[in-house]
Amino acid sequence: MAILVHEGTRVLVQGITGSEGAFHTRHMVAYGTKVVAGVTPGKGGQSLDGIPVYDSVSEALREHEIDASILFVPAAFACDAMLEAADAGIPLLVCITEGIPLHDMLKAYHLLRGYGVRLIGPNCPGLISPGKAKVGIMPGEVFQPGPVGIVSRSGTLTYEIASHLSRAGIGQSTVVGIGGDPIIGSTFTELLPLFEEDPETELVVLVGEIGGAAEEEAADYVAEHMSKPVVAYIAGFSAPPGKRMGHAGAIISGSEGTAEAKARRLEAQGIPVARTPAEVAKLVKERLS
């Protein structure tokens, strides 16, 4: 099995006719993802490689059954596009867009909660269930099917760690990039239960970074609620205090939010923390054997 997406997931692409939307749609289709329709206002009636394009999400839903929507929509319009999909009843949204204004995302976050939809992102690489479906921008060739779930705040680190696992002969069940913005739709603690319930996931890798308290919250959740082993990696052991490192959410405040502080909290809850991405595969192999 997998979590969130699988070979039968029917996907809508919002912003399909833009350069990024078109490029990644073609890669998702090539991977085997069932992209059934696209939406770009004003481009209804067109198609992309035979995928019909509609002016609105509601028009697409009149013609297709849709399980998930991925958004390649400019930052100024991304929140409206999320709400349009949520209002139409699509249960899973994956927002790739970066640079969404904080106050726009804050408002959208609470409205989306009211609709009861699950949002992955924004400013994320999406998710992939290797060998089944890819809903995002991840390079599919570095992933292999297997028993390890990955949930990560970092996009490129996700690919690197998955590549180390794959080269070590350890495949992945589902890999989710949750995004690095201060306000995201799904946190570690909201996704870990899905891996815990997935019969094919035997171990979970948690990839964090400096800033915020998401990793500390995940450590406490794992200790209290998870029976499956968890291995972690935290990016930013050499990050200077007070300096933002890549993501808007990756900033240290005083002694809080440092990689060392996060590692201590995780290790105190019995979660081993790798000091390099390559070490993750070693720790995983030890716990799967």
Contacts 24+ apart (CB under 8 A), 274-280: 274/231, 274/232, 274/233, 275/237, 276/233, 277/157, 277/160, 277/161, 277/164, 277/233, 278/164, 279/233, 280/161, 280/164, 280/165, 280/205, 280/231, 280/233
Helix-helix angle 155-167:277-288, to 10 degrees? 50
* DSSP state letter for 180: S
247 is catalytic: yes
Measured in residues, the chain has a length of 289
Catalytic residue among 64, 110, 164, 247: 247
Helix ranges, the chain (H): 19-31, 57-63, 75-88, 102-115, 155-167, 188-197, 214-225, 259-268, 277-288
Provide the annotated active-site residues: 247
